[in-house]
Structure 1
Amino acid sequence: MTSRSPADEADAVVRAVLDDFTSRRHLGVVVDSPPGAGKSTLVVRSAIDLAAAGECVMVVAQTNAQADDLVARMTLRAPDVIIGRLCGKDHLAIARALHLSRSNVLVRDKLTDLGDAPIVVAPAAKWDFVPDVRMPWAIIDEAYQMRSDMLLRLAPRFERALFVGDPGQLDPFTVIDNDRWTGLRWDPMQSAVAAMLRSNSHLPQHQLPYSWRLSTRAAPPVSDAFYPFTPFEPGTTADQRRLEFSTRGLGGGAVDETLDVAARSGWALHELPARHTVRTDAEAVDATARLALRVLERGATAWSETEPGGATVTAERIAVGAAHRDQVDAVRERLRHMAGGDRITVDTANRLQGSEYDFVVVLHPLSGRRDATSFHLEAGRLCVLTSRHRQACVVVARAGIQALLDSHPSSEPMHIDVPAKFPDGWEANHAMLAHLEPFRVRAA
């Protein structure tokens, strides 16, 4: 008896999800998805299958960018299905420009103007302002990013919901003090999934088993560090991914050495000398920008299962991730003065969630710090930053993070009735640094 391929196994899980969801036996179904496991594909397929069966479905995204991406995917899969894109007036012109060439997409700011569109896609914040609507089906994308208070407001608008998201990435956050709600069943700062399951633990839960983004070199360390209880495997084989440079590194010093290590192994740690610095560490910012730009200068080519003949790694296929907006602004400013650098994506972990690139350069959240706050130790933040790549990831950091972690062990207070979250940031950071150790390149 031959074992099934990863594609067959993944398809079997998707069919099980759709069977549970459309059987009408459950008011909700939860699907956990590791990075690049086909979460958006599942959302799109579910919505289109319901529309094909004559049903109406509301699709809830968390941002306008996510909503526009889902609409674009739906039009490719089902060009004959009318899709409604509901958005606020401030995003109306942008959405219309994005979907102008798609004849089956209606972009409106009022639900009543979408007629009988069987699929309506909008961010949660927009659905919150749609009065007097109740649909039989809802699909909530990035459900772990949605706060439970938003789910409470949207719940009257649908009968059954499919919750799809990545449990290992960033939780909902707020800038206000939320200790007054900690431990309560209706704590608004829980994710929508956590709050829903605390009151409905009997609902079916599924997990997508393979990552199609992370390679055989990337999936194991990410799974071990961030998904200890929901492990996953790569959906591709070792010989399907390869990254090469058309020119050898001459005169690039540690930068070129780092890129060569990353091309061979899929990972590299570009380590700067130990030093306490301000958040916008000029040396770290410069190294991060030069590494990203050097990928272009050396003419990187990526081979994969979708591009077996190889494809040039252009600026649009490179990203830089950081923890803070001021760090992002500093890297962008540095790249702006480099030829071609202004086309490289630079953003925070929050905004990079859900995106995918060939090559990613990460400015480590703990680099150069004197302390390890809960923000910088957040496991989901490092998970997002180190799981966006298909080919290689380079982490830029000052030496001494392990010592910093040891001197600031996890000391978050324990609260009654609050489930412990695993892994904690201390453990996840140590695990990822241990993995990067063999791929370390010291920069003078």
Structure 2
Amino acid sequence: MSPEPPAAAAARVVDAVLRDLATCEQRGVVVDSPPGAGKSTLVVRAAGVLAATGASLMIVAQTNEQVDDLIERLGAKHPELPVGRLSAVDYVASERVRHHPSCRVGAKVPDLGGPPVTIGTAAKWATVTEGTWPWAIVDEAYQMRSDALLRVAPRFERALFVGDPGQLDPFSTVEVDRWTGLSWDPMQSAVAVLLRHNPTLPVHRLPVSWRLPASAAPVVAAAFYPFTGFRSGTGPADRRLTFTEPATTELDRVLDVAAATGWGLHELPARFTVRTDAEAAAACALIAARALARGALAESETGAAPLTADRIAIGAAHRDQVAAIRSFLPASAREITVDTANRLQGREYDLTVVLHPLSGRRDATAFHLESGRLCVLTSRHRHACVVVARAGIAELLDAHPSTEPVHLGVPVKFPDGWEANQSVLAHLATLS
């Protein structure tokens, strides 16, 4: 029996989600999604379906960038649907919001005129103290802290929670150890708390990544989604990345391997370094710049296009590393995106270059081992990902077993950071 086509498998799950929205008597529906599986597309489609019933709808996103992206998508799919953009007083509408034909911006709910769809960040919704909506859609729900959900929960009766369980957990800039293990720990994700107290809620899983190529989906699924898995929506021959200029340096040869296999590893000599390792930062910048200079062509199921600077990204764990990498970019490559995993989350490129979080380190801390960080960095690409790292990471992992305290009442997080890192490193080792 032949396997179900990817489009049919994805459509079957989306139809089940929409059916639950229409018929399920539970207060919530949860949708788990791997990278690039169409979370935003599902949110936009569900918003249109719910708005068509005549019920007003609130959408909760986690950042202003996500809000503006959803407004742009809503405008493209449902241009006739009035949308209210709930914002701060000093918010300046982005081009994506201004181009929406039926979007109104306001700092307070009454300023919006009662549109069918009202959208804002979780932080902004927390300031709303009056009014209720029959439905809410919570986007990137796994990145929403549980206390943020508690603050907005009085505003809606039922909700659709959509998110990626494999990526970065909610984070805070203050110490949160005092709450660890307690049932009211605000650093738990909104979905974790929701399912802990409502274990019978329906949970759906999108089975296909439309972003990750056939070379990447099995690697990312095995490392970061070991119990659910997913597959690529494209086959091995559906995408090609080719360079018009031949390889002349070692960095060029790494790019050629990445173009042929979907993955590349530029391994520097083993050495303990400061966090802003100049040699590694320079390598990241030069690899991305060479990809741009060699005149690459990206071919996929959507067509063929030159590999331009806006389709290349460099990811790192820390902002000072990002600054160091930017300083090494030549003038011709300054438009290449360079950012941290937190800010790259949700974005998509043809080629990514990743500075491994554990490169050059003497220890393996919880921050650098968080599986979600490496998952974000290695799952932004449509064609190829090049990892830059110093040798010795596998030995570092073996020499530094977890020393983090074990807390009662804290569910064991899967996948484990050690295991996820080793899984990715094992695949990269096969490239040499």
Please give the range of the TM-score, normalised by the shorter of the 2 chains.
Answer: over 0.9
Aligned position for 2:223: 225
- In the other structure, the counterpart of 2:100 is 102
1:254 to 250, 254, 273: 250
Which position in structure 2 is the counterpart of 1:322? 316
SS at match of 2:334: helix
Aligned pair 1:428/2:424, yes or no?
no
Q: Specify the alignment match of 2:271 in structure 1.
A: 275
Q: CA–CA distance in 1 between the matches of 2:388 and 2:131?
A: 49
1:380 corresponds to: 372
Instruction: Give the paired residue count.
Output: 432
Q: CA RMSD in A?
A: 1.2
Runs of at least 4 residues off by over 3 Å: 1-4
TM-score norm. by structure 1 comes to 0.95
Are residue 146 (structure 1) and residue 144 (structure 2) matched? yes
User: What residue is the counterpart of 2:305 in the other structure?
Assistant: 311
Alignment partner, residue 172 of structure 1: 170
Match of 1:395 among 387, 390, 393: 387
* Bigger mean CA deviation after superposition, 325-334 or 2-11: 2-11
State the distance in 2 between where 1:289 and 1:4 align. Answer: 41
Within 5 Å, which residues of 2 pair with 1:105-184?
105-184=103-182
Aligned pairs (5 A) from 1:24-103? 24-90=24-90, 92-95=91-94, 97-103=95-101
Ranges in structure 2 where 5+ consecutive residues have no aligned partner: none
Q: Take 1:178 and 1:102, find their aligned partners in 2: how far apart are those partners? A: 40
User: Relative to 1, partners in 2 of residues 1:439 and 1:65: Cα closer, same or farther, differing over 3 Å?
Assistant: same
- The one-letter code matched in structure 2 to 1:333 is S
For the residues of structure 1 that align with 2:401 and 2:74, how far apart are their CA atoms? 46
Q: Secondary structure at the match of 1:439?
A: coil
8 A Cα contact 1:353 1:384, kept in partner:
yes
Task: Quote the offset at 1:4 in angstroms.
Answer: 3.7
1:407 paired residue number: 399
Residue in structure 2 matching 1:364, options 356, 376, 386: 356
Alpha-carbon deviation of 1:3?
5.3
Q: What residue in structure 2 maps to residue 301 of structure 1?
A: 297
Q: What is the TM-score with the length of structure 2 in the denominator?
A: 0.98
Residues in 2 aligned to 1:104 and 1:437: alpha-carbon distance in whole angstroms: 52
Identical-pair percentage:
62
Moved more, 209-218 or 22-31: 22-31
Judge conservation of contact 2:141–2:161 (CA < 8 Å) in 1. Answer: yes
Give distance in 1, aligned partners of 2:397 and 2:413. Answer: 18
Determine if contact 1:185/1:198 at 8 Å carries over to the other structure. no
Q: How does 1:348-363 map to 2 (within 5 A)?
A: 348-363=340-355
Q: Which moved more, 1:116-125 or 1:3-12?
A: 3-12
Secondary structure in structure 1 of the residue aligned to 2:92: helix
Which of 181, 196, 199 is 1:198 aligned to? 196
Looking at structure 2, the residues matched to 246 and 80 of structure 1 have their Cα atoms a distance apart, in angstroms, of 44
Does the Cα contact within 8 Å between 2:168 and 2:372 map onto a contact in 1?
A: yes
The amino acid across from 1:77 in the alignment is: K
Q: Which runs of 5+ in 1 are unaligned?
A: none
SS of equivalent residue, structure 1 residue 93: coil
Query: How many angstroms apart in 2 are the aligned matches of 1:37 and 1:353?
Result: 14
Tell me the SS of whatever aligns to 1:89.
coil
**What is the distance in 2 between the residues matched to 1:113 and 1:140?**
22
- CA distance in 1 between partners of 2:98 and 2:176 (Å): 42
Amino acid paired to 1:399 = A
The offset of 1:8, in angstroms, is 1.3
Displacement of 1:24 in angstroms is 4.7
Deviations 1:86-142 (A, max 9, x none): 11123x2143x4322332111222211111310111110111112202101000000
1:405 counterpart SS class: helix
SS at match of 1:164: strand
C-alpha displacement at 1:180, in angstroms? 2.1
Write out per-residue CA displacement over residues 165-222 of structure 1, whole angstroms, 9 at most, x where no aligned residue. 0000000112322222222222111000001111000100000001011111000010
Instruction: Decide which of 320, 324, 327 is 1:333's aligned counterpart.
Output: 327
